[in-house]
């Protein structure tokens, strides 16, 4: 798609189009998570993860969550609404059977937004003087 095509499409449409590729929990490409884009074959099985790797992954997720909270704390109203929209896009679609992990993921996004409110400055930075 050319730059002119992207400019003709509104920001909301661009976001919806990009998110629609992720609707089934996978894939950054047009083929989704089912195939390996480099080879066109089905992806290999994921290797097992030991306790040490799980511990490191847990630490990284905690760090990323706290970073997201910090970024949301400085977000504008429209940016916070965009984050809420993101939570709504990962909730089950009408007519689809709700999956517990999907419901929890949407709830977790909203929880991160709420937790960021505790860190939002009530006065502009530098205005304390």
Q: What is the pLDDT along the chain (129 residues), one digit of tens a residue?
A: 555 555 556 766 666 666 665 554 454 444 444 444 555 556 678 788 899 999 999 999 999 999 999 999 999 999 999 999 999 888 777 788 888 888 899 999 999 999 999 998 754 555 544
pLDDT, position 19: 61
pLDDT, position 32: 47
Question: What is the value of pTM for the model shown?
Answer: 0.56
Q: Where are the domains of the chain?
A: 1-45, 47-122
pLDDT, position 94: 79
Nearby residues of 112 by Cβ (< 8 Å), 6 or more positions away: 65, 68, 69, 72, 83
Q: Which residues pair with 42 in a beta bridge?
A: 35
Give the pair of three-digit tokens for residue 110: 């909203």
Residues 9 and 93: their CA atoms lie apart, in Å, by: 24
From the CA atom positions of the chain, what is the Rg in Å?
19
pLDDT, position 40: 57
pLDDT, position 126: 55
Residues 66 and 11: their CA atoms lie apart, in Å, by: 28
Residues 118 and 121: their CA atoms lie apart, in Å, by: 9
Residues 61 and 55: their CA atoms lie apart, in Å, by: 10
Nearby residues of 68 by Cβ (< 8 Å), 6 or more positions away: 112, 116
pLDDT, position 7: 56
pLDDT, position 34: 47
The CA distances from residue 96 to 42, 46, 75, 116, in Å, are 26, 27, 32, 31
pLDDT, position 117: 93
For the chain, counts of helices (H) and of strands (E):
5, 0
pLDDT, position 123: 47
């Amino acid at each position: 798609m050319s730059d002119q095509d992207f400019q003709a499409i509104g920001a909301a449409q661009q976001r919806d189009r990009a998110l629609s590729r992720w609707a089934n929990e996978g894939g950054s490409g047009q083929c989704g998570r089912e195939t390996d884009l480099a080879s066109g074959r089905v992806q290999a099985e994921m290797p097992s993860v030991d306790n040490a790797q799980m511990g490191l992954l847990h630490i990284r997720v905690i760090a990323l969550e706290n970073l997201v909270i910090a970024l949301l704390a400085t977000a504008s109203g429209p940016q916070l609404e965009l984050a809420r929209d993101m939570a709504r896009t990962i909730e089950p679609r009408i007519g689809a059977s709700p999956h517990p992990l999907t419901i929890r993921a949407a709830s977790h996004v909203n929880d991160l937004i709420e937790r960021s409110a505790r860190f939002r400055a009530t006065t502009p930075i530098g205005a304390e003087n």
